[in-house]
Amino acid sequence: MEGKIIWKKEKCIDCGDCIDACPLRIIKKDSGRIVIENEYLCNRCMKCTEACPTGALEEVCREYTLQEVMEIIMQDSQYYNNSGGGVTISGGEFTLQIEFARMLLKKIKENYFNTAVETCGYTSWENFKMIKDFCDIIFYDIKLIDPAKHRKYTGVTNKIILDNFEKLLRSGSKIIIRVPLIPGVNLNEDDQLSIIGYLDDLGKKENLPTRECEIQLLPFHQMGRSKYVYLNIDYKLKNNRPAEKDEVENILKIYKDKGFNKIRIGG
């Protein structure tokens, strides 16, 4: 993963220091934005961020070695030992860097810390086989059961996601199910009853411990919108309203009325 530079409009004083500092002369001002004209030419020297007097240009990601990550983790080792806490690998989607994730999880477990991962589940079963024995908890998204609707809103089928979910349950992995609640997408009784029915069938017909899984309802919000603006990426949900409290509490009641008591709002 290469370093990524973002531009924060609210901090920019239009001094041009970043433009002057770029040795490749590929930083320009375009339609009021500071942009890297050709991302492929940028060598991530970060001289532009160093020259920026206000922090309007900022490096937000960089490549780390396994040793560098472990050195950061070990700074909090006393806290993990005293609290029983640990390390969660999140994303993005962590399985896109599965080899590194496997090595990191294994190393963390060698130091006797708890581990967790967060995933959308859309990856090969071979990838999960590589890491599941090093995970104490797997936070697993279930967004929609209807395959056509899932493809419409995510761009992919949910067959792989549900197959992996069932295989993880059969393997004895501890799973916390996460259900994002998005107005206009799945924040409705029908879609949530479909999830409940799916989990019920797995429990009754497949004898899988779905009712032992904690469920977290995650109300949609717009707090991540600014990141898309900074990265100059179109945010497809920018016009979606946040989930209302009473809507989310109604969904919570539906689950509880169906006997799913290990459920709460929020992550």
CATH 3.20.20.70 intervals, the chain: 69-265
Copy the structure tokens of residue 175. Answer: 């799973």
Residue linked to tokens 């922090």: 55
Report whether pLDDT(238) > 90: no
Residue linked to tokens 């936070």: 139
Pick the closest to residue 215 from 170, 165, 252 (CA basis): 252
Query: Per-residue confidence at 224, pLDDT binned at 50, 70, 90?
Result: confident
Tens-digit pLDDT profile for residues 102-139: 999 999 999 999 999 999 999 999 999 999 999 999 99
- 8-state DSSP, 242: P
CATH 3.30.70.20 intervals, the chain: 4-61
Copy the structure tokens of residue 250. Answer: 């109604």
Q: In the structure, how many helices (H) and strands (E) does the chain have?
A: 11, 10
Report whether pLDDT(190) > 90: yes
The domain defined by 69-265 folds into: TIM Barrel (3.20.20)
Please give the mean pLDDT across all residues of the chain. Answer: 93
Q: What is the C-alpha separation between 192 and 202, in angstroms, rounded?
A: 16
In sign, the C-alpha dihedral spanning 123, 129, 133, 134 is negative
The H or E element that residue 200 is part of is: helix 189-205
Q: What is the C-alpha separation between 176 and 209, in angstroms, rounded?
A: 12
Pick the closest to residue 164 from 56, 101, 156 (CA basis): 156
Residue 91 vs residue 22, higher pLDDT: 22
Predicted pLDDT of residue 225: 82
Residue 205 vs residue 233, higher pLDDT: 205
Give the bridge partners for 215, in sequence order. 177, 263
Is 4-61 a domain of CATH 2.40.50.140? Answer: no
Report whether pLDDT(266) > 60: yes
Predicted pLDDT of residue 3: 66
Tens-digit pLDDT profile for residues 5-46: 889 989 999 999 999 999 999 999 988 889 888 777 888 899
Copy the structure tokens of residue 210. Answer: 């779905």
Predicted pLDDT of residue 239: 86
* pTM attached to this predicted model: 0.87
pLDDT above 90 coverage of the chain, percent: 78
Report whether pLDDT(176) > 90: yes
